[in-house]
Amino acid sequence: MSIQRLDLKKDLGEVFKQYLKALEGLSPDLDYYSQVKDESYPNKLCLLYYNLTNRLVKPRPRKVHLSSVFYCPKRFKTALDIIIEKIENGEDINPHLSKGILWVLGTKKRKNRHRDALLDSWGIKHIHLGINIESHGFIKRTGPILFVKFDDENAYFLLIRRHGRRIKKNGKPSKRLHYPWNRQILIDILHNNWSDSIQNFKTKLEFEALSDDEIRQWWRGNINVLTKSKDGTGYFGPGVAASGDNIQNVRICQHIFRYLDNVEEFFQENINKLIEMLKQNGKKVDNPLELKLVSFEFIGLSLRIEIIEKNTQFLMDFEEGRQPVLHFETD
């Protein structure tokens, strides 16, 4: 007896497509599946999925903290109160985010519209301060925006700054004014108020501080840079890979695919033992096994996957650091 089908990476790619489709439930205006339905490369689907989910805010109750320099103009006080209440209650605030979350993929015209350099480099999101929901399902865009760093338990409000706008020259968009995305004051605020939140990115390397404009230029080339707070403390944020993908997401996908290789190797090496166990549990094994990955998730830092055998309908759970578990009864 042998294995007729075992392609866990291809299976995982299809799972990612379904997970992206499920994310459309966040808003009736989201259409992720149609953007990826023809994509066949599992590693790309993995990166697209994690790049997108990294941009979203998972609804869960969080404690809101205001920085020592935080100031909200009076005209945005109502919107700010609404956002704080939503965050503290664990409500969905994704309609307040950038419309970039509409795209899983870039386009020829705007190839990087599905990426967020500020988020990938420094882990900071921005939120619009409108109140009314427009026809596209998002809160009305505002000039000033709120810069926030999220973790599972907290929302750190750094400051409110102008979004930036382009001036026209000879009828065409030219230089952007008030560009806020690469300002090292954001790192300085985190350092001065909640240094524990960026403790993992602290570095003891000696380096010469860059200007904000220099950081912007390096980011354009997908090159990671070190930054300094005003007291000289150095930080090296999450950053991006040469491809422009979030480097942490690249590592997550590499980790997943290495683990799938190990699982496939397990099946190849233990096929005879597995068939014997199936027979001992009353399963009739007349055909080569057809194995398919049907789900995956992270339990803490450990990856867990579920695999089904088509002919006998047995399920097997794999979780890193634990022995595989077989389930011979399925619903």
Dump pLDDT digits (tens) for 129-158. 999 988 778 899 888 999 999 999 999 999
The domain of 93 spans: 11-202
Query: Is 222 among the domain residues?
Result: no
Q: Tell whether 182 and 279 lie within a shared domain.
A: no
pLDDT, tens only, 301-320 = 789 999 998 888 888 999 99
What number is the average pLDDT over the span 75-96?
95
Of 202, 219, 248, which residue sits at a domain end? 202
**Co-location of 26 and 136 in the same domain:** yes
CA atoms within 13 A on the CB side of 298: 8
Mean pLDDT rounded to a whole number for the chain: 88
Report the pLDDT averaged over residues 59-79.
96
Please name the residues in contact with 254: beta carbons below 8 A apart, sequence gap of 6 or more.
none
Domain contains 230:
no
Token readout for 127 is: 């939120």
Q: Are β-strands 315-319 and 302-309 bridged in parallel, bridged antiparallel, or unpaired?
A: antiparallel
pLDDT of residue 173: 54
For residue 64, tell me if it sits in a domain: yes
For residue 62, being part of any structural domain is answered with yes
Tell which of 156, 172, 202 closes a domain: 202
Classify residue 144: in a domain, yes or no: yes
Half-sphere exposure of 316 (CA within 13 A, CB side): 20
Distance CA 272, CA 305 (A): 22
Q: Lowest-confidence range among 116-125, 187-196, 255-264?
A: 116-125
Domain count, the chain: 2
Q: What average pLDDT score do residues 272-276 get?
A: 86
Residue 3, in any domain of the structure:
no
25 in any annotated domain = yes
When pLDDT is averaged across residues 293-305 and rounded to a whole number, the result is 89
Residue 106 has pLDDT above 70, yes or no: yes
Same domain, 179 and 298: no
Looking at the structure, do residues 48 and 136 belong to the same domain, yes or no? yes
Residue 276 reports pLDDT greater than 70: yes
Q: Are residues 169 and 32 in the same domain?
A: yes
What is the percent of the chain with per-residue pLDDT over 90, rounded to a whole number? 53
pLDDT at 280: 82
Tokens of 304: 């867990």
In this prediction the pTM is 0.87
Predicted pLDDT at 38? 93
pLDDT value at 201 more than 80: yes
Same domain, 130 and 279: no
* pLDDT attached to residue 331: 45
> Does 224 map to a domain?
no
Domain end, chosen from 153, 184, 202, is at: 202
Q: Is 80 exceeded by the pLDDT of residue 208? A: yes
* Residue 170 banded pLDDT, cuts 50, 70, 90: low
